[in-house]
Amino acid sequence: MPGPDSRQTTGRRGESAARTELERRGYAILATGFRTKCGEIDLVARDGATLVFVEVRTRRGGRCGTAAESVTRRKQLQVARMARAYLATEGGGDGPCRFDVVAIDYDGACSEPRIVVYQAAFDAP
């Protein structure tokens, strides 16, 4: 079983891969690791006129399911609360907003991850 350092390394690697993929798709990254009292927003970006709150999920192997499957309803609610905190402190809520998920799955046999970007993955309650 991997230790906490191993999970943190995987998470950092995943966030870096997500950022690279989003920038390749034309997103402008505004913030990384934005901390709120409810937790941390992985990435905040602009996709055209839309402000995007991005949850990055990274998994190694499939023992605990895929990265995308790990974004539970509870996590969605937490991300929505963090997004409201971001808008309250940083502004930018006068235009459209959405929640994207970047799911990154590393297969033990392959060094290149499978990266899937789910635009508008969920709605805020």
Query: How does pLDDT run across 49-77, given as a tens digit for each residue?
Result: 999 999 999 988 766 678 898 899 999 99
Q: Say if strands 97-106 and 114-122 run parallel, antiparallel, or are unpaired.
A: antiparallel
Which residues are within 8 A (CB) of 13 and not within 5 positions of it... i.e. 6 or more apart?
Answer: 58
> Which structure tokens are listed for 27?
């997103």
Using CA atoms in the order 87, 88, 92, 97, what is the torsion angle rounded to 10 degrees?
30
Position 1 scores a pLDDT of 43
Tens-place pLDDT, residues 92-125: 778 899 999 999 998 766 678 899 999 999 998 7
